[in-house]
Amino acid sequence: MENFFVPILVGITTLGAFLIGVGVIGMSWGSLGRAIGRMLEGVGLALIFFMANVAVGMAVVFAGRLLTGGFVSLYLANDMTLLVFSLLQGLTFQWWRERQASTRDRGLGIGG
């Protein structure tokens, strides 16, 4: 049961959000696919930022070893908050990019 607790919990809250979205707020079923696509874009960007953060962190650690002549641990970059901050970086970059595209489209008279 312990292995299934988190997936069941996430499934229940996802179903609840879906029912509230469609039934109460009036969101369309058809736009769910686009929302999932945007979510996957955000996750992809978060993973790119995570890899960049780890790579830069490793470079800083190796530079610290080289410059100080002492030992600087790679474990400094081993922190779960790095994953959370990478997610925030990815989402912010995605929303910034979409905002820029929508501003550009309005300037050209393409969008609403």
Answer for the pair 41, 77: CB distance below 8 angstroms, yes or no: no
| 64: amino acid identity, one letter | G
Q: Is residue 32 within 8 Å of 15, Cβ to Cβ?
A: no
**Phi, psi angle pair for 69, to nearest 5°:** 75, 0
Entry pTM? 0.75
Q: Is the dihedral of CA 41, 43, 46, 51 positive or negative?
A: negative
Report the alpha-carbon angle 17-22-23, nearest 5.
100
| pLDDT tens for each residue of the chain, 112 residues long | 788 999 999 999 999 999 999 999 999 888 888 899 999 999 999 999 999 999 999 999 899 889 998 888 888 777 889 999 999 999 999 999 988 887 776 766 655 4
Instruction: Give Cα 96 to chain centroid, integer Å.
Output: 13
| One-letter amino acid of 5 | F
